[in-house]
Chain A
Amino acid sequence: MGLMEEERVLLPERQYRLVKALAGMGGRAEASRLAEAVGRKQSDIMRDLAELESKNLVKVLRVKTWHVCLSPDGRRYLKEGLPEERLLKIVGVRREFPSVKELAKACGLSRNEFAAAFGRLRKYGAVKVVSGKVIYSGDGVEKLLSDIRRTRELLGNISECIHVRELPEWVAELKRRGMVEVTESRVVEVEATETLRELLEAGRVSEAPLITRITSEVIVSGKWRGAILKEFDLSIEVPVKYPSRKHPYVEFLNHVREVVESMGFVEAKGPHVETALWNFDVLFVPQYHPARRESDVYFVAGETVGVAPSDVLERTREVHERVWKYRWDPREALKLVLRTHTTPVSMRTIYSRKEGEYRVYSLDRVFRPDTPDPTHLMEFHQLEGIIVGKHVTFKHLLGFFKEFAKRLGLGEVRFRPAYFPFTEPSVEGYIKHPKLGWIEVFPGGMFRPEVLYAVGLKGHNVAAWGIGIDRIAMMVLNMNDIRNLYTNDVGIIRSTPLPKEVMR
Chain B
Amino acid sequence: MPIVEVSFTDLQRLARKNISSEELLKALELMKGEVEEVSGDSIVFEASHDRPDLFSAEGLGRALRYLLGVEEPPSAPPVSGDMTELRIVNPPRYRPYAYISIVKGVELDDEAIRQLFQLQEKLHATYCRDRALVSIGLYDLDKVKPPIIYTSVSDGRYVPLGYSEEMSLKEILEKTEKGVKYAHLVKEGEYPLLTDSEGQVLSFPPILNAEWNKVTPETKNIIIDVTGTEPHLMMRVLNVMTYAVLERGYGKALIMRAKVVGGAPDNPYPTTPHLEGKLFSVHVEDAESLLGLRVSAEDIPVLLKRMGYAVTSITSDGVRVWVPPYRVDVHGVVDIIEDLAISYGYNELPTETLPPTHFSGRSSIEHLTRIIRDIMVGLGFDEVVNFMLIDPDILKLVTDEPFVTVANPKMKTYSALRNCMLASILIAGKVNSEKMGEVEVFEVGDYVIPKQHDAESVRGMAFLLMGDKYTLTDGLVTAKSVALTLGLEYRFEPYEGKPYIRGRAAKVFLNDVEVGRVGEVHPEVLVELRLTKPVVAGEFNLTKILREIIERK
Binding site for B on A (CB under 8 A): 244-247, 249-250, 254, 257, 260-273, 275, 288, 290, 293-294, 298-302, 304-307, 323-327, 336, 338, 357-359, 364-365, 367, 369-372, 377-379, 387, 391-396, 398-400, 402-403, 414-419, 421, 424-427, 446, 448-450, 461, 485-491, 493-494
Contact = CB atoms under 8 A, between A and B. Distances in A.
Contact of B410 (A275, A325, A369): A369
Contacts of B428: 488
B314 interface: no
B189 interface: no
B126 A398 contact: no
A288 B448 CA distance: 28
Interface in B226-281: 230-233, 268
Given A273-B404, A306-B453, A419-B50, A267 B386 contact: no
Contact of B290 (A260, A378, A394): A394
A57 to B, nearest CB: 52
Contacts of B162: none
A418 B49 CA distance: 10
A298 B360 contact: no
19 contacts: A245-B377, A254-B366, A260-B360, A265-B360, A270-B457, A304-B453, A305-B453, A323-B332, A326-B233, A378-B410, A379-B387, A379-B389, A395-B291, A398-B346, A400-B354, A415-B349, A419-B32, A485-B385, A489-B435
Contact of A338 (B289, B410, B417): B417
Interface residues of B, number: 95
A272 B410 contact: no
Nearest to B365: A269
Nearest to A296: B408
Contacts of A494: 382
B357 interface: yes
B369 to A, nearest CB: 9
A256 B388 CA distance: 21
Contact of B388 (A326, A369, A379, A392): A379
Name, among B337, B387, B441, the residue most crowded by chain A CB atoms within 10 Å (CB to CB).
B387
Contact of B360 (A264, A273, A307, A326): A264
A396 B352 contact: yes
Nearest to B406: A298
A407 B228 CA distance: 52
A257 B334 contact: no
Interface string B371-410: 0010001001111111111000000000000001111111
A262 B432 contact: no
Contacts of B338: 417, 424-426
B456 A267 contact: no
A387 B293 CA distance: 18
B32 A395 contact: no
Contacts of A365: 388, 446
Contact of B129 (A290, A392, A399): A290
B12 interface: no
Complex A-B, nearest 7 residue pairs according to Cβ-Cβ distance, in ascending order: A264-B356, A393-B292, A395-B292, A325-B232, A425-B338, A273-B455, A488-B428
B362 interface: yes
A488 B432 contact: yes
B29 A416 contact: yes
A290 B49 contact: yes
Nearest to A403: B353
Nearest to B345: A415
B40 interface: no
Nearest to B127: A288
B382 A266 contact: no
A221 to B, nearest CB: 34
Given A323-B331, A461-B290, A298 B354 contact: no
A263 B384 contact: no
A491 B406 contact: no
A246 B341 contact: no
B11 interface: no
Contacts of B456: 271
A300 to B, nearest CB: 6
B346 A301 contact: no
A395 B291 CA distance: 6
A370 B410 CA distance: 7
Nearest to A378: B414
Nearest to A286: B233
Contacts of A273: 404, 417, 448, 450, 454-455, 457
Contact of A288 (B133, B342, B370, B381): B133
Contact of A262 (B335, B347, B360, B417): B360
Contacts of A448: 332, 334
B52 to A, nearest CB: 12
A299 B350 CA distance: 42
Contacts of B185: none
Name, among A298, A336, A414, the residue most crowded by chain B CB atoms within 10 Å (CB to CB).
A298
Interface in B445-471: 446, 448, 450, 452-457
A395 B346 contact: no
B203 to A, nearest CB: 22
Contacts of B450: 273, 304
Contacts of B435: 489-491
B81 interface: no
Given A266-B360, A365-B446, A396-B354, A244 B293 contact: no
